[in-house]
Amino acid sequence: MWSASWRTRFPLRCDLTGQPAFQDLLTSMQPRIVGLMRHQSLPPTEIVRTAALDRTGDENPLFRAAFNYVVLPEPAWPQDVWAQLRSAAPTAVWRTSPKFELGMTLVVDGEGGGLLGELEFQSPLLDRGAAERLAENFRTLLAAAVAHPDRAVSDLDLLGAEEREWLDARGGRVLPPAAPEEGTTLDRIRAQADRTPDAVALTDRGRDLTYRQLWEAVASLAGRLRAGGVGRDVLVGVHLPRSAETVVAMLAVWQAGGAYVPLDPAYPAARLQHVLDDSGLRTVITRPDTTGTLDTTTVDVIPSTTSPRRLSARAHPARHRPPPAISPSSSTPRARPASRRA
């Protein structure tokens, strides 16, 4: 990003990390711009040389778009021009020989009475229609920033009414930013099941599971886990291939208050047994076709049927373990915290 005047251009990097509000972004950029102006005598060629940038090819090694913001005193232009600017919307002036791939200049009245906008573009990159839409988007962005300076830059409006209508007509409706939802992943899934119970939540090899079916399966298995002794911070193994049942199992363990330990069925039997012994697992969720790799004399198995709604459980009380989760790796498993927020 570049901030520029008529005489000098400064390379300016804009950091939008953390979703800053528009007014906060302006506040953070001001000292950076002031600092850059102290080096306005440094020629761009020296910057390119110092940064060891590639100067081959047709592209500018420092930037591809330029922005000029110019404040002129009122006597600089005829009075009738300024009067027109004060009463009209920002104007676009088109040039046929731009210096850069994209360039925009805003000239502002010294008294803040109006703006004259000039957009330059290279025809191989944009046609006039696209450039006009870009200019209109910029006007919309400016209006939104002035109206809502405390709103995050990423949430400011860019699209005008015509563009929204165009998207609506083609099924691409642009929705306003949703307010952040509170609660855990389980809370949000349950809320979604209440709102759209028959909507598809999971698709697994041609089989669909609705939100109602998903929540019923999770609640059913969680109840059986709790009845078998699974509670807060109790570890439960999930010995399943990637499938809908895996999702149900993980959510059910959370619902029961426990923490799941993923056990990949592709692991060698010795590796699985090492994880089981080291973690002290007493309860494992699995399927009949994957139990062969487990020592079922020491691990209680929760068999699964083809329908998550009919998942049955057979669990014995598990020992209390403080770590909220364990992630097996190529070495000895280590405990790590696990967030339950979406």
Q: What is the pLDDT of residue 294?
A: 60
Whether pLDDT at 276 is above 50: yes
Instruction: Please give the mean pLDDT across all residues of the chain.
Output: 71
Q: How far apart are CA 129 and CA 117, in angstroms?
A: 16
Please check whether residue 245 is in contact with residue 334, taking contact to mean a CB–CB distance below 8 angstroms. Answer: no
Could you tell me whether strands 300-302 and 259-262 are parallel, antiparallel, or unpaired per DSSP bridges? unpaired
**Cα end-to-end distance, the chain, whole Å:** 33
Q: How far apart are CA 306 and CA 221, in angstroms?
A: 14
What three-state secondary structure class fits 301? strand
Tokens of 31: 């000292």
Our measurement of the distance from residue 264's CA atom to the centroid of its chain's CA atoms, rounded to an integer in Å, reads 29
All domains in the chain, ordered by first residue: 2-169 (3.30.559.30), 185-335 (3.40.50.980)
Least confident of 12-26, 49-63, 185-199, 279-293: 49-63
Q: How far apart are CA 77 and CA 323, in angstroms?
A: 71
- In this prediction the pTM is 0.43
Question: How far is the CA of 167 from the CAs of 137, 187, 189, in angstroms?
Answer: 15, 32, 29
pLDDT digits (tens, 9 = 90+) for 150-159: 988 888 888 8
Tokens of 107: 């000239």
Least confident of 193-202, 267-276, 332-341: 332-341
Q: How far apart are CA 273 and CA 267, in angstroms?
A: 10
Q: What is the pLDDT of residue 56?
A: 67
pLDDT digits (tens, 9 = 90+) for 100-153: 677 888 887 666 567 777 788 777 777 888 888 888 888 888 889 989 999 888
Please check whether residue 263 is in contact with residue 272, taking contact to mean a CB–CB distance below 8 angstroms. Answer: yes
Whether pLDDT at 40 is above 80: no
Instruction: Say which residue the tokens 């901030």 belong to.
Output: 3
Question: How many percent of the chain have pLDDT more than 70?
Answer: 66
Mean pLDDT of the region 210-233: 87
Backbone angles phi, psi at 165, to 5 degrees: -65, -40
Whether pLDDT at 315 is above 70: no
Q: How far apart are CA 27 and CA 148, in angstroms?
A: 15
What three-state secondary structure class fits 270? helix
Q: How far apart are CA 282 and CA 321, in angstroms?
A: 11
